[in-house]
Amino acid sequence: MLYIVLLLILAALGLLVAALITATSLWAWISVGLSVLAFALLGVDRVRRRARAKQAPAGDAAEDGDSEGEKPDGAESVSGELPDGDESDGAEQTALLPAAGELESAKNNGGEDDPAPGTGGATEVTESGDPSEEQTDAADLLVVSELDTEVVVVDEFPRYHLTDCRWLADRDTIPIAVKEARDLGFTPCSRCTPDSKLAAEHRKAAKTAKTAKTLKSES
């Protein structure tokens, strides 16, 4: 899609030059039409990207719900009635119940191996989907919007990240300036918090430069 938009823009520029050289208004109108078409395609591509990014976490959550709803093998044999005199079925039912030692061990461990209440596999959804958005401070936003510092984005996902973000793992990344990422509609990752860190680094560098300038002027 981006290649098509680029070709349309180049064609529009070529026709605009031809209109200026030949003083023909027809080429100018065609150039304007191609430019409008290019921007329309760019808008459609952005909408498609955001829609795919929203569908990815929802699909992962649905898969987790299906897996939790499945019953383990042998569950029906526990809830069902056992035939009279069938010792083998009774043994299977007993085997499904935890032994006393296992209960005591779980109690001593304080349930450390169990997931926190209410999480319900939310970690897996976050890892396979996109992290939530960082809540950027207004002052940090003003600083970051003017920075050329490089961040990275992942195709089909709406967040931008620092290069050392753990969520990136082995995903293919695209380097881009942070202000350009914001202009294109990307938002900061809540895990690596790029906005707050980049704003803090910028303020620190500006303060250091100001101090050095003051010392130099005094000397």
Question: In percent, how much of the chain has pLDDT > 70?
Answer: 64
Q: Which residue, 20, 36, 59, sits at the end of a domain?
A: 59
Instruction: Judge whether 137 lies within some domain.
Output: yes
Instruction: Judge whether 84 lies within some domain.
Output: no
Confidence of residue 68 (pLDDT cuts 50, 70, 90): low
Q: What is the pLDDT of residue 117?
A: 41
**Is the CB of residue 29 less than 8 Å from the CB of residue 16?**
no
Query: Cα(5)–Cα(37) distance, rounded to whole angstroms?
Result: 8
User: In which domain, by residue range, is 10 found?
Assistant: 2-59
pTM: 0.40
Q: Categorise residue 194: left if φ over 0, alpha if ψ from -120 to 50, beta otherwise.
A: alpha
Domains identified in the chain, total number: 2
Instruction: Judge whether 164 lies within some domain.
Output: yes
Q: What is the pLDDT of residue 151?
A: 95
